[in-house]
Amino acid sequence: MKLQNKVAIVTGAASGVGKAIAELYAEEGAKVVVADMNEEATLAVVNAINQNGGTAIGVVANVMKEEDIQAMVERAAEAFGRVDILVNNAGIMDGFRLIETIEDDLWDRVIGINLTGPMRAIRRALPFMLKQGEGVIVNIASAAGITGGKGGVAYTSSKHGLVGLTKNVGYMYAKSGIRCNAIAPGGVLTSIMNSMGNMDMAALQEFQNGAGTQRREPVDPSEIATVALFLASEDSKFVNGTVITADGGWTSY
């Protein structure tokens, strides 16, 4: 098993990519903290992992709230004694809003969940990793985080910021035994589209015009989970501060 006795926190883990990562990590021997806003769905994931012979606990957490992030990390440490892996997966989209139509409230919410949340989670988990002399952080970015036309202005900005956060943390803490990497998926079969509300259809059409180079649309979350497993395991011990695209070639166009 690639993650035997490791302790992993996964945010947004009640569905989609986060759920797939939590389940795969548990299969590979990790003790998993399933964190999500949806209490019922979180409990379902935890129960499924435990019934399949894994080890998991659930934490209801809104990553926009500092107190929830603190409680999430402290719960992991109390239950399992350490924090080895942090996966910042929780995220929302912005309806492909252009800058001329984006409202401040939507901008603040997207940045808060997609960028400020991961920053705070890393800040809380880092002391445990520094004390241990090792740790792994995996941030779920997006193809929109390395290009300019694959999302709305708030989503694109938040994911570019997450890439910058990844590189800074990876570089600054490399000598402390901590690795920080990101995954940039293309279109994935998840419920994140439900977070968009009213969409800018003209901008969405531009997005769809460029989607034809992806190998297939959408990608199953399990395909992103295998990349997250690679980044969390010793197989990637010399991979740090970088972004791995998992988009079927979409961003190569």
- pLDDT (tens, 9 = 90+) of the chain, 253 residues, equals 999 999 999 999 999 999 999 999 999 999 999 999 999 999 999 999 999 999 999 999 999 999 999 999 999 999 999 999 999 999 999 999 999 999 999 999 999 999 999 999 999 999 999 999 999 999 999 999 999 988 999 999 999 999 999 999 999 999 999 999 999 998 755 444 444 556 555 555 555 555 555 455 678 999 999 999 999 999 999 999 999 999 888 888 7
Per-residue confidence (pLDDT) for residue 104, from 0 to 100 = 98
Residue 155 appears among annotated catalytic residues: yes
State the Cα–Cα distance between residues 186 and 248, nearest whole angstrom.
7
State the Cα–Cα distance between residues 186 and 128, nearest whole angstrom.
32
Per-residue confidence (pLDDT) for residue 147, from 0 to 100 = 94
The residue extents of the domains of the chain are 7-252
| CA 40, 113, 97, 190 torsion-angle sign | negative
Per-residue confidence (pLDDT) for residue 42, from 0 to 100 = 99
Per-residue confidence (pLDDT) for residue 189, from 0 to 100 = 54
The pTM is what? 0.91
Domain 7-252 class in CATH: alpha beta
Per-residue confidence (pLDDT) for residue 97, from 0 to 100 = 96
- For residue 108 the two structure tokens come to 């603040």
**Strands 85-88 and 243-246: what pairing?**
unpaired
Per-residue confidence (pLDDT) for residue 192, from 0 to 100 = 47
Catalytic residue among 155, 171, 173, 253: 155
Per-residue confidence (pLDDT) for residue 103, from 0 to 100 = 98
State the Cα–Cα distance between residues 154 and 31, nearest whole angstrom.
34
Would you state the torsion angle of the CA atoms of residues 144, 145, 149, 154, taken in this order, to the nearest 10 degrees? 90
Helices (H), ranges, the chain: 16-27, 39-51, 66-80, 104-111, 117-132, 153-172, 201-209, 221-232
Residue 17 near residue 90 (C-beta atoms within 8 A): no
